[in-house]
Copies of this chain bind each other. A is one copy, B any other.
Amino acid sequence: MSERLPARTLEATLTWVGWAPGKDFVSTAADRLRLTYAGIQGDLHAGLTRPSGAREPWYPRGTEMKNERQLSIVSVEDNAEVAAALGIPDLRPEWIGGNLLLSGVPNLSLLPPRSILFFPSGATIRIDGDNGPCRQAGRAVAAQFPGRPDLEFAFVKAAKYKRGLVGWVEREGEIVPGDTVKIRVWEQALYPG
Contact = CB atoms under 8 A, between A and B. Distances in A.
A66 B37 contact: yes
B107 A5 contact: no
B171 A110 contact: no
B3 A171 contact: no
Interface in A28-54: 37, 48-49
B190 A190 contact: yes
A126 interface: yes
Copies in the complex: 2
B113 A170 contact: no
A128 interface: yes
Contacts of A191: 5, 107, 110-112, 185, 188
Interface string A169-193: 1111000000000001110111111
A114 interface: yes
A176 to B, nearest CB: 20
B190 A66 contact: no
Given A113-B114, A193-B107, A66 B1 contact: no
Interface stretch (A15-23, A56-64, A92-100, A137-145): A56-64
**Closest 6 A/B residue pairs (Cβ):** A113-B114, A113-B113, A66-B170, A114-B129, A65-B171, A188-B190
